[in-house]
Amino acid sequence: MKYTKFLIIIFFFNNTLSQQLYESRTKAISPANSYLQDTLKKKAIIKENISAIFLGIGGGLSLPLSPFSDNSNAAFGILGRLEFSSTYIFPFVIGGEVTYFSYNGDDLFKTTNTLANFDTKILAYGLNIEYSLSKFLPSAFTIPFISVDVKYNSIERVYDENKSFPDLSREESGISVGAGIGFTLFIFDFHIKYNFLKNSPNIGIYVKTKFPVIRL
């Protein structure tokens, strides 16, 4: 119950609803009622500095782009994230994120190369930063945001032992850079992101739920 109340405070703070409510009320009050204006202003001020660590769990659909799409199909995967949210750094939210996707090989690619199977598994983890757009796109129900991330990717390709591909080694690693846009609806995040990774670029469509685990 304590965390539920706290999450509601975070949501309304980030969405600047209290500020909108204050502004709408003060506009309707004449200058003669200065005492009432002062009273409303004091009530609208958030005195407490709020900080917390949130746990996010979700998944999404990853759509390979060329040249990745030449050998692999779209795949569903999982996502986990720990993020730090605070009135001190608002509108920024900083998080550590991990994702895992396993892509099945494209049928035409397998037929052309006489492969029985071809799978690409990518485990990625790194730093993610979100920037809330609530100050520019105010909404009573959602919080739009943009996000960027940098991740380390561990790539494993599984295919026939008697085959080899110069550009598609069985194991490799690489750094990816992602950028996207999304929106928060209470405790749910929805976003789309372009991920640049050598030989394996993709577009991801993700959804996750989050809840506070530690209040600071």
Query: What does the pLDDT read at residue 158?
Result: 96
Check if the beta carbon of residue 59 is closer than 8 Å to that of residue 206: yes
Q: Which residues pair with 94 in a beta bridge?
A: 84, 129
What radius of gyration, in Å, describes the C-alpha atoms of the chain? 23
Query: What does the pLDDT read at residue 124?
Result: 98
Question: The tokens of 103 are what?
Answer: 């892509």
Q: What is the largest CA-CA distance in the chain?
A: 87
- Could you tell me the residue ranges of all domains in the chain? 49-215
Query: What does the pLDDT read at residue 11?
Result: 46
User: How far is residue 82 from each of residues 58, 109, 134, 178, 186, measured CA to CA in Å?
Assistant: 12, 38, 22, 17, 17
Q: Distance (Å, rounded) from C-alpha 111 to C-alpha 106?
A: 9
Question: The tokens of 71 are what?
Answer: 């050998």
Tally the residues of the chain: 216
CATH number of this structure's domain 49-215, picked from the four choices 2.40.160.20, 3.40.50.720, 3.40.50.450, 3.40.50.150: 2.40.160.20
Encode burial over 149-170: b for 16+ CB neighbours within 10 A, e otherwise.
bebebebebebeeeeeeeebee
Amino acid at 67: P
Query: What does the pLDDT read at residue 134?
Result: 83
DSSP tag of 90: T
Query: What does the pLDDT read at residue 136?
Result: 82
Query: What does the pLDDT read at residue 47?
Result: 55
- pLDDT tens, residue order, the chain (216 aa): 444 444 444 444 444 333 443 343 334 434 444 444 554 454 445 556 889 999 999 999 999 999 999 999 999 999 999 999 998 898 999 999 999 999 999 999 999 999 999 999 999 999 999 999 988 877 777 889 999 999 999 999 999 999 999 889 999 999 999 999 999 988 899 999 999 999 999 999 999 999 899 887
Q: Distance (Å, rounded) from C-alpha 45 to C-alpha 124?
A: 41
